[in-house]
Structure formats: C-alpha cells, structure tokens
Amino acid sequence: MAIDYNLLRVTVDLGAIQNNFRLLRSLGTALIVVVKSDAYGHGLLPVARSLEACGAESFAVGTVAEAVRLRPVVRGDIFALLGPQSAHDADVTISENITSVVSRLDQLTLLQQAAQRRDGLAPVALKFDTGMARLGFNETDTGRVLETLAKCPRVTPRWLFSHLATADDPDQVDYVRDQASRFQHIHDRLFAAGLQPRCSLVNSAGMLAYPELAWDRQRPGIALYGANPFHGSALESLGTGLRPAMHVQAPVLAVHPLPKGASISYGRTYVADQDRTVAVVGAGYADNYARSLSNKGWVVIRGQRARILGRVCMQLTAVDVTHIPDVTPDDRVDLLGGSSDAAVTPEELATWWETIPYEVFCLLGMNPRKYIPALPSPTQRRPMSCPVGSLPES
Ligand SMILES: *Cc1c(COP(=O)(O)O)cnc(C)c1O
C-alpha cells in the first residue's frame, strides 16, 4: 500500500499518542481505543503496541481481518466493529478470541454455527442504532434479537453498543440526548429480559462533552491522534492538551523565479501579480496530497508559511517562497505538523482541503511511515531529543 518510491514521508510520534491516551484516560472511565483503518493512518501495530504499553486494555478495529492482524500484538479485548461477514470470518473470531460487534440477525447465526464447529463460545457486542441510521438493530427489533439469541446458546451477548451522530456539534445537543435516552431504554429492555450487557455509547467528542454518558467504556478514536473534535466551536477548549502525532514532509526539488505576469502549473490558474520566487515540492495527489489544495493550501519551509500556487499535480506542488530567503533543493517542507511554531495543524489542512482531520490522517497515512518511539516513563526520561527510527510493522 505504501508507495515508497515516492518522496513524501510520514513520521508518527508515538509519544504524542500515548500523551493523548493518558489525557483521555484521566478524564474518563475505561477506554476502548479505536484503531480502525490502520489507526487512522498512523499504523495499526505500532500504535496498538504503544497504547498497550501505557495501559490500554481494549481495542476496536473495523473488519475481522484487521482484528486478526492485531491479535498477536495485544493481549486485551479486540472488538471488530463491522462484525463477521462470512463463515470464515466467524470461525476466526472464535479461534482468535475476537469480540464481534453484531448488527444483523444473520451474524448471530453465523457465529452460533462457527462456535458449534469449534466447540467454543462467541462473545458479541449487540450494536443498536439509536439515530445514526448506519449499522445496528432498531429498538423495535429487540424481541427478534432476543428470540435469535435464545436459539444461539453459544453466542454470549456481553456488550451493548451504539454510536452518536452529533457529539461534536454543540448546536445538536438535543439529538445526543435523544440517542442517549433510546440507548437507556434499549439497555433496560435487555436487562429486563435477563441480559446484563456492559455498555458503550460515546466516541471522542462524546466522552469529552458528555461525561455523564460514559457508561462502562468510552471509545475514543480521533482524539488519540491529536485532532480536536471541537475545533472552531464553542467547546474547543475541551480538546486542550491533545497533541497531533502525524508529521508529513516532502523535499524541495527546484527553486526558481516566477516573473510578474507569468503563470504556473496546469491550466494557468495562478498568474504572478509581482515578481515571485517559487519552490517546487515533491508531493502531489499521487501521495494523497489533495488536488483540492490547489491555490488554497499552505506548507512550512524554514519555519515560515508558504502558499500553494496553481494546481497541485500528481507528484509536484509549487509554493511561494518569495519571502523566505535561501530556500534550496536540500530543504524539507512540512506539509502537516512538525516542530515549527508555524506548523500546519490537522484542522487547518482539513479546512483548506474541504474535509475533516479524519480523512487527512487516513489518506496521508497511506504513505511510507517511520516512527518516533515513545520515551520511557517520565521518571526515566533524560533531557535529550529522541531518536527517529523505523520500527518494523510486525
Ligand atoms: C470510529 C468509531 C469510533 C471513534 O470515533 P472518533 O470520532 O474517532 O472518536 C467510536 N465508535 C465507533 C463505532 C466507531 O466506528
């Protein structure tokens, strides 16, 4: 997947992810850390290892295949949020001790059959839809769920899950309240039927804004990677202290003048309004650096912001360095993150890109990554900069 013959490089600071985990854990109940989609582009295995090293006990991925990849690396509970999609999936959830999040009756049957074949038990989280209208049983399905469970004695419903649609939006508190009360009601019906599931409702935004909805486990994802779910809203201060972990760099390949009146890149969408100097950077949409950043985004060179000029190309992007002296083809450009005061934040890049930090991380994270290992615990920490090394992926 990672195209290492391109020039863009991603560095992930595992210490930042650990910092964010500790911060969230200090606020909350127990956490299920969400590491789906390759840990939002940060790397499933290195991220999961670092989280386990600082105390994470439960992990959520999307597919059963991701869960299988994670199983040898962590001891804790692994939830497959999409549940089994085939008999083979169902078999491996049992052999690999993966908890299936189940949102359809046929998944319960698949798991019962697999558990019978393997003479085991199939732990599940029942996923109910309380307002997202994506995956999950409806409250009106509760009777049928209970009937099916009665016919599936090897399926053990240990958990009840649902997912909030508007937890990050201070203007949609009422919708969260509606979802929360539906969740409570479903819980009560299951409880009355003799089930005693542990419950989990909230994501990052939900755990920061609604501590009263913590139930037994909270499921943070994006906050672990350091993006503030409330960026630009009245609740922005709730994300204080989160540190982005992803740093994206590419080299300068050429520096040249662009005289007043000259255009640059495909379609001539930028024409110099004065004599300018441009640097051509070795990153483009083939690296998932979006073409929608054309004439909109900014990068950082030598600690200063430089604006994108003209269209982002497949492997090249031109930026304005008129105000930055001595830029040369040796220079590295920060497309996201880094240590400079001018560093581009995930929220800024997402705004220019017309998306959200989640997508920025998932897409840029598909490039080759290296890791800054987490430092030892604070008592052992020495005042030195930490080495940048490549960790093996497995
Ligand atoms: C992705 C996901 C999360 C994490 O959401 P964030 O907004 O990233 O915190 C939690 N629960 C479920 C079911 C998810 O799919």
Taking only the tens place, the pLDDT of each residue in 184-195 is 999 999 999 999
**Which atom of ligand 1 has the smallest separation from the CA of 62?**
15
Annotation says 260 is catalytic: no
Among 175, 266, 358, 371, the one annotated catalytic: 266
Ligand 1 and 221: CB distance under 6 A = yes
- Which of 51-65, 312-326, 362-376 shows the lowest mean pLDDT across its residues? 362-376
Are 359 and 225 in contact, with CB atoms under 8 Å apart?
no
Q: How far is residue 212's CA from residue 346's CA, in Å, rounded to a whole number?
A: 28
Q: How far is residue 197's CA from residue 99's CA, in Å, rounded to a whole number?
A: 13
State the distance from the centre of ligand 1 to the C-alpha of 199, rounded, in angstroms: 15
pLDDT band of 2, cuts 50, 70, 90: low
Please name the residue that has the structure tokens 């732990």: 123
Query: Looking at the predicted structure, is the pLDDT value of residue 313 above 80?
Result: yes
Q: Which residues contact 235 (CB under 8 A, 6 or more apart)?
A: 170, 208, 209
Are 124 and 154 in contact, with CB atoms under 8 Å apart?
no
Average pLDDT over residues 172-181: 98
Mean pLDDT for all residues in the chain: 94
**Which atom of ligand 1 has the smallest separation from the CA of 203?**
9
Write the residue with the smallest CA distance to atom 12 of ligand 1. Answer: 163
**Which atom of ligand 1 has the smallest separation from the CA of 163?**
13
> What pLDDT is recorded for position 1?
53
Taking only the tens place, the pLDDT of each residue in 66-124 is 999 999 999 999 999 999 999 999 999 999 999 999 999 999 999 999 999 999 999 99
pLDDT band of 380, cuts 50, 70, 90: very low
> What pLDDT is recorded for position 29?
77
User: Helical H runs in 62-126?
Assistant: 64-70, 87-95, 105-117
State the distance from the centre of ligand 1 to the C-alpha of 220, rounded, in angstroms: 6
Annotation says 266 is catalytic: yes
Average pLDDT over residues 121-144: 97
Closest CA to 245 of 37, 18, 3: 18
Residue 32: how many other CB atoms lie within 10 Å:
26
Average pLDDT over residues 365-369: 97
Beta pairing class for 30-34 and 58-61: parallel
pTM of the model: 0.94
**What percent of the chain has pLDDT above 70?**
95
Are 287 and 367 in contact, with CB atoms under 8 Å apart?
yes
State the distance from the centre of ligand 1 to the C-alpha of 108, rounded, in angstroms: 23
State the distance from the centre of ligand 1 to the C-alpha of 117, rounded, in angstroms: 32
Taking only the tens place, the pLDDT of each residue in 108-121 is 999 999 999 999 99
Taking only the tens place, the pLDDT of each residue in 140-172 is 999 999 999 999 999 999 999 999 999 999 999
Percentages of the chain per state (helix, strand, coil), in multiples of 5:
35, 20, 40
> What tokens appear for 280 in the block?
């051509």
Among 5, 36, 127, 260, the one annotated catalytic: 36
State the distance from the centre of ligand 1 to the C-alpha of 34, rounded, in angstroms: 6
Query: Looking at the predicted structure, is the pLDDT value of residue 386 above 70?
Result: no
Taking only the tens place, the pLDDT of each residue in 218-277 is 999 999 999 999 999 999 999 999 999 999 999 999 999 999 999 999 999 999 999 999
Q: How far is residue 31's CA from residue 39's CA, in Å, rounded to a whole number?
A: 15
**Which atom of ligand 1 has the smallest separation from the CA of 223?**
9
Query: Looking at the predicted structure, is the pLDDT value of residue 213 above 70?
Result: yes
- CA 228-238-222 angle, 5° bins: 30
Backbone angles phi, psi at 139, to 5 degrees: -55, -35
Ligand 1 and 313: CB distance under 6 A = no
The rounded radius of gyration (Å) of the Cα atoms in the chain is 24
